[in-house]
Amino acid sequence: MERAERIKKVPPYLFATIDKKKREAIERGVDIISFGIGDPDQPTPPQIVEKMCEAVRTPKNHRYPDYEGSLEFRSAVSAWYKKRFDVTLNPANEVMTLIGSKEGIAHIFLAFVDPGDYTLIPDPAYPVYKLGTMFANGEAHYMPLTAENKFLPDFAAIPTDVAKKAKIMFLNYPNNPTAAVADLKFFAEAVAFCKQYDIILCHDNAYSEMAFDGFQPPSILQVPGAMDIAVEFGSLSKPFNMTGWRMGFAVGCSEVIGGLGIIKTNVDSGQFTAVQDAGIEALLNIDPKFIPAMNDLYQARRDVLIDGLNSMGWNLEKTKATFYVWAPVPKGYDSMSFCAAMLEKCGIIVVPGVGYGPAGEGYVRFALTLDESRIKEALQRMKQQLAL
Ligand SMILES: *Cc1c(COP(=O)(O)O)cnc(C)c1O
């Protein structure tokens, strides 16, 4: 059966390849330590689970949901933005519920990108920005993120003719996979650039709550005038250990939210209202100690991993946010061969940086989604098995 061109161009899903290698190693009896997928290892707080149970028993939730999300959930997002970022959002037209933020990120390209239009996509990046562009038959122009530039794109390096034909720019800070962070000054530059060229600015803020040493990641909507052109994608997945629940939202410029809404009305019929009720509980009523406690857990793991790698010759700075560590590969390796060596010699899974785009070559990503004791065991194996 002949597949469509847009499907034929899709590279194999990065984690599918890694999962297959992992299964093969497990079958051989290897005790695998995985720093692979960025999926929190801790459970959803019981308070949210209880709310869900109650909401499932409520008959009005059994009917079709509102496609744009329940007004109650959208109002909760608006209240949370006010409290967390001092950003004012109208729940009626500046907030939309998503079936996980990935869903909205993938769909926004269909709403605004015509064949031949450019998108400005970071490299390396979460793969959905590129795939979303491809599904809309757009052309992705990579903005390289380099260590010299603190993994921030250099807007001056974007060719003018590309900028003129660009419809969407994507940014993501705190960043997956590099763990880099951005400040409001950088976001203001991005807003100015996108306004100059009439580009929709999309900011993926999936890691806004996962930060260390007192750092509080900003919202791009805090930049004056950002609401004219920018939308921000938020997710309940990472802060509340809710990846399985599929709860996210898009907020910001009402024209952009409206365009996304047209795609969504015709593709899905919204998220189960009971899940949104649980989402309200997470955003507004969670124990205020919960997120700081999660961040303490990740921060302690970060310290064990980075101190351990640095004792073996790496020279990594302590990350300020996300549960990732983006590490250059040792001399003599590229990102694929180092991952293969880690798996074969140490039974350790790390993700090849090149899977996030060509500029990810020379790096691997560790996710801090495993116990400190397993991180120590992994470091021990690396010391013994890899002649670094
Ligand atoms: C995890 C992640 C998301 C997606 O989260 P959802 O579960 O779809 O809400 C989006 N962007 C980045 C960069 C991520 O790492």
> Taking residues 119-132, what's their average pLDDT?
97
Domain count, the chain: 2
pLDDT at 146: 97
Residue 350 has pLDDT above 80, yes or no: yes
CA 242 to ligand 1: nearest atom: 7
Residue 101 C-alpha to ligand 1 middle, in angstroms? 6
Residue after which a domain boundary falls, among 285, 305, 327: 285
Name the residue range of residue 64's domain. Answer: 46-285
10 Å CB burial of residue 46 (0-12, 13-18, 19+) is exposed
76 lies in the same domain as 213: yes
Bridge partners, residue 157, by sequence: none
pLDDT of res. 14: 65
Residues 239 and 151 in one domain: yes
Are 129 and 223 members of one domain? yes
* Residue pLDDT, tens place only, 78-98: 999 999 999 999 999 999 999
- The reply to whether 54 and 28 lie within a common domain is no
AA identity, residue 257: I
What sign does the CA torsion over 185, 188, 192, 197 have?
Answer: positive
CATH number of the domain within which 197 lies? 3.40.640.10
The bridge status of strand 230-235 relative to strand 248-252 is antiparallel
For ligand 1, atom 2: residue with the closest CA: 206
Handedness of CA 376, 380, 381, 382 (dihedral sign): positive
Which atom of ligand 1 is found nearest the CA of 322? 15
Global confidence as pTM: 0.97
For ligand 1, which residues put their CB under 6 angstroms from it?
A: 38, 100-102, 126, 172, 176, 204, 206, 235, 237-238, 243, 248
Count H helices and E strands in the chain, helices first: 13, 12
Q: Specify whether 25 is located in the same domain as 112.
A: no
Last residue of a domain, which of 285, 319, 349? 285
What confidence tens digit (pLDDT) does each residue in 267-291 have?
A: 999 999 999 999 999 999 999 999 9
Whether residue 281 sits in one domain with residue 305: no
Q: Give residue 313's Cα distance to chain centre.
A: 29
Last residue of a domain, one of 239, 266, 285: 285
Q: Are residues 319 and 227 in the same domain?
A: no
The answer on pLDDT for 12 being more than 80 is: no
By C-alpha distance, which of 10, 206, 232, 203 is closest to 100?
206
**CA nearest ligand 1 atom 15, residue:** 176
Does one domain contain both 194 and 66? yes
Maximum distance among all Cα pairs of the chain, rounded to whole angstroms: 62
List, for residues 290-349, the tens digit of each pLDDT value: 999 999 999 999 999 999 999 999 999 999 999 999 999 999 999 999 998 999 899 999
- DSSP-derived secondary structure letter, 268: -
Residue type, 147: A
Same domain, 348 and 254: no
- Residue 37, Cβ neighbours under 10 Å: how many? 14
Asked whether residue 54 falls in the same domain as residue 163, the answer is yes
Structure tokens at 281: 């509980």
Q: Which amino acid, 92?
A: A
**pLDDT-derived band at 105, boundaries 50, 70, 90:** very high
Check whether 15 has a pLDDT greater than 80: no
pLDDT (mean) for 255-262: 98
Average pLDDT of the segment spanning 67-74: 96
- Cβ neighbours of residue 385 under 8 Å, at least 6 residues apart? 345, 346
Count of other CB atoms within 10 angstroms of residue 199: 24
| Cβ proximity of 265 and 241 under 8 Å | no
Q: Tell me the CATH number at 335.
A: 3.90.1150.10
**Domain check: are 185 and 222 in the same one?**
yes
Mean pLDDT of the chain: 96
Which atom of ligand 1 is found nearest the CA of 103? 8
